[in-house]
Amino acid sequence: MWNNGFRHIFNCLWREIVKPLQYFCQSLPLLYLIEERQVIFLNTLLYSDNCRPILRTLACRHSVQYEILGLASKYGLNTVQNSKSMVKDAIWTCFKREVHF
């Protein structure tokens, strides 16, 4: 639906690739957006002082930390704790490498 929305707005055919359009509109594909928000959310759970103790305890489990590290390493982030801007920049850089004009 996300790609079809771009095709509809820019009056493209259904078989055209929309990644260049998304790049020039500075909009990430939906999968990138979901993974970006997952990494930011999980980092917030682990490292925020405002989180409730129960949520922090759940987030400190090794499975959650491995999930964060797995997603982060996919985008070239080598540590578990990353700032929002660092995560967004890394994901945008990865997307830019994937776009073909």
pLDDT in tens, 82-96: 788 998 999 999 999
Q: What is the pLDDT of residues 13-52, one digit of tens each?
A: 888 888 888 898 999 999 999 999 988 887 777 777 766 6
CA 18 – CA 10 distance, rounded (Å)? 10
**pTM recorded for the entire structure:** 0.75
> What single DSSP character describes residue 76?
T
Using the structure block, give the residue that is written with the tokens 């997603």: 71
Q: Would you kindly state where each structural domain of the chain is located, as residue ranges?
A: 29-98
Nearest alpha carbon to residue 41 among 28, 26, 25, 58: 58
pLDDT above 70 for 55 = no
What gap in Å lies between CA 101 and CA 71, rounded to an integer?
A: 27
Comparing 12 with 96, the larger pLDDT belongs to 96
Extract the tokens encoding 43: 């980092």
39: which residues sit within 8 A by CB, 6+ positions away? 68, 71, 72, 75, 77, 82, 87
